[in-house]
Amino acid sequence: MAARDESARMHESSEETEGIVDLVLDHARGRILAKDIPLNKPLTAQELARSASGTITEDGIGAREALSVFERALAPACISVDHPQYLSFIPGAPTKAATAFDLAVSAANIYGGSWLEASGAAFAENEVLAFLAHEFGLPAEAGGAFVQGGTLGNLSALVAARDAAKRKSTTPERRRWRVVCSAEAHSSLLTAAKVMDVEITLAPTGADGKLTGQAVEQVLDQYGDEVFAVVTTAGSTNFGIVDDVASIARLRPAHDFWLHVDGAYGLSAMLVAERRELFRGVEQADSLTVDPHKWLFAPFDACALLYRDPRSARSAHAQDAEYLDTLDDTPGWNPADYAIHLTRRARGLPMWFSLASHGATAYRDAIARCLGLAREIAAEITARPHLSLVRDPELSVVVFRREGWTAADYAVWSDRLLADQIALVVPSSHQGAPVTRFAIVNPTTTREQLVAILDTMN
């Protein structure tokens, strides 16, 4: 009898591999269902070297030991973004259903780029995209794909925008292309501009931080058809500001530009009927992004990228190669055709499963709870003489200052909160002055927790 081929050992079902799977699933189940998850904190490279180095060997250290290293050394050095007192940057708070189903997606190892290979996954993702497009007022033919995050979503949308402009231009190669946005726009736009070798032109905002049609029109009058896209922000990262999209949309057709809405964080608030007025004009966007891993309760990483007319995006992004010809000949929706990607996991499926399981009303209620909590804690801040709001919250980001504190004071306070495992609340700045902020997107965060954090600033 021929000797067993040991090269296949890792891939076969056996007592050994069954034990490994059980170990991992038991760990995952415990983490997903944990009632009190740790906040955790970063460790230095030297600290991790002492506790977690030497794991890669010729013969392996075994699954049980590898998992032990992860549990006792590596995981505690990763801050839990889904912790209710993680209040910095823009957190994430995936539902337990979405997190659990992410395991199923990984287990199936779905290549989510083509209809031929993943028609079921693409269909389900498109169900979510159609739901979001309807919520945002886009037409029924709108569509797109789930991409890694807002940075890739914005870049992909702008590539489609420039491609559309080039097709209309009589001198596409001689023109210096420009994107117009405000200083409040996300930093990913600067990255996109570098990658695309285009100019970013900042239009001024008012005291409220909003970009308006009047300001954009001044830039359009100055640069004319060099401007191929205007990017509006529907919920800025630092303040949660929503630009006056409607007044900017009204500039067309007098000015020919692609209107992109970066709603990575804030556009989710459109699911709450009482807040939709803030977002007037979004329905006229040529493209938009919203990140389910932020305020739509999906695990990392998922950005929903939507186009008003997906044909324009496909013209810009579909890849051409002999080995891909069969995909073009197969009817169906290929998600790889609508962004800067080819290989992709079916990253929209965890949200699909959670949304299908719980229903849209549960999502609306969870977002509304965060919005209400932001108003409550803003009132609490206003009532404390040593604290002051920098600006009334429009969505669920609350920016405030501790009177008399320097940047160093905020840093010491923030470090102490994390060291004591109370919260992650990092300093920020506004107009050169130090401030701090609560970014509230986790519906399990409570008023009592936020008040307790404020108490540490006395």
Tell me the DSSP string of 96-120.
Answer: HHHHHHHHHHHHHT---S-HHHHHH
Instruction: Supply the pLDDT for residue 1.
Output: 41
Distance from C-alpha of 436 to C-alpha of 195, rounded to nearest angstrom: 31
Residue range 383-388: average pLDDT? Answer: 98
Token readout for 351 is 């949200």
Q: Is the distance from CB of 87 to CB of 445 less than 8 angstroms?
A: yes
Q: Which residues pair with 143 in a beta bridge?
A: 307
Instruction: Supply the pLDDT for residue 358.
Output: 98
Q: Which residues pair with 288 in a beta bridge?
A: 261, 306
Residue-range domain boundaries for the chain: 16-75, 100-358, 360-455
Q: How does residue 257 score in pLDDT terms, banded at 50, 70 and 90?
A: very high
User: In this structure, what are the phi and psi dihedrals at residue 36, rounded to the nearest 5 degrees?
Assistant: -125, 90
Q: Is the distance from CB of 242 to CB of 205 less than 8 angstroms?
A: no
Instruction: Supply the pLDDT for residue 6.
Output: 67
The per-residue pLDDT of the chain, averaged, comes to 95
By CB atoms closer than 10 A (0-12, 13-18, 19+), residue 128 is buried
Using the predicted structure, report yes or no on whether residue 5 has a pLDDT greater than 90: no
Residue range 20-35: average pLDDT? Answer: 96
Instruction: Supply the pLDDT for residue 3.
Output: 47
Torsion of CA 306, 309, 312, 316, to 10 degrees: 10
Instruction: Supply the pLDDT for residue 352.
Output: 98
Q: Is the distance from CB of 212 to CB of 156 less than 8 angstroms?
A: no
Instruction: Supply the pLDDT for residue 325.
Output: 83
Q: pLDDT tens for residues 93-122? A: 999 999 999 999 999 999 999 999 999 999
Q: What is the DSSP string of 180-244?
A: EE-TTS-THHHHHHHHHT-EEEEPP--TT----HHHHHHHHHHHGGGEEEEEEEBS-TTT--B--
Distance from C-alpha of 129 to C-alpha of 196, rounded to nearest angstrom: 27
* Radius of gyration for the alpha carbons in the chain, expressed in angstroms and rounded: 24
Using the predicted structure, report yes or no on whether residue 8 has a pLDDT greater than 90: no
Residue range 291-295: average pLDDT? Answer: 98
Whether the bond into 253 is cis, omega within 30 of 0: yes
Token readout for 342 is 């080819």
Higher pLDDT, 271 or 8: 271
With CA atoms as reference, report the closest residue to 349 among 108, 14, 67: 108
Q: Is the distance from CB of 172 to CB of 317 less than 8 angstroms?
A: no
Instruction: Supply the pLDDT for residue 236.
Output: 95
Residues in contact with 8: Cβ distance below 8 Å, sequence separation at least 6, in sequence order: none
Residue range 223-237: average pLDDT? Answer: 96
Q: pLDDT tens for residues 325-344? A: 888 777 889 999 999 999 99
Q: Is the distance from CB of 188 to CB of 154 less than 8 angstroms?
A: yes
Q: Is the distance from CB of 146 to CB of 305 less than 8 angstroms?
A: yes
Residues in contact with 223: Cβ distance below 8 Å, sequence separation at least 6, in sequence order: 178, 201
Number of Cα atoms under 13 Å in the Cβ half of residue 247: 12
Higher pLDDT, 7 or 203: 203
When the candidates are 3.20.20.70, 3.40.640.10, 3.30.750.210, 3.20.20.150, the CATH number that belongs to 100-358 is: 3.40.640.10
Residue with tokens 């912790």: 83
Residue range 68-89: average pLDDT? Answer: 97
Distances in Å between the alpha carbon of 103 and those of 75, 107, 221, 297? Answer: 18, 6, 52, 16
Distance from C-alpha of 426 to C-alpha of 82, rounded to nearest angstrom: 16
Q: pLDDT tens for residues 122-136? A: 999 999 999 999 999
Instruction: Supply the pLDDT for residue 2.
Output: 47
Architecture of the CATH domain 360-455: Alpha-Beta Complex (3.90)
Token readout for 25 is 């699933």
Instruction: Supply the pLDDT for residue 170.
Output: 80
Residues in contact with 54: Cβ distance below 8 Å, sequence separation at least 6, in sequence order: none
Q: Is the distance from CB of 97 to CB of 354 less than 8 angstroms?
A: yes
Token readout for 243 is 């630009």
Instruction: Supply the pLDDT for residue 390.
Output: 97
Percent of the chain whose pLDDT exceeds 90: 91
According to DSSP, residue 4 is labeled P
Residue range 261-285: average pLDDT? Answer: 98
Using the predicted structure, report yes or no on whether residue 7 has a pLDDT greater than 80: no
Residue range 418-426: average pLDDT? Answer: 97
User: In this structure, what are the phi and psi dihedrals at residue 263, rounded to the nearest 5 degrees?
Assistant: -115, 30
Rounded to the nearest 5 degrees, what angle is found at the Cα of 6, between the Cα atoms of 5 and 11? 100
Residue range 180-203: average pLDDT? Answer: 95
Torsion of CA 87, 202, 285, 191, to 10 degrees: -60
Residue range 386-392: average pLDDT? Answer: 97
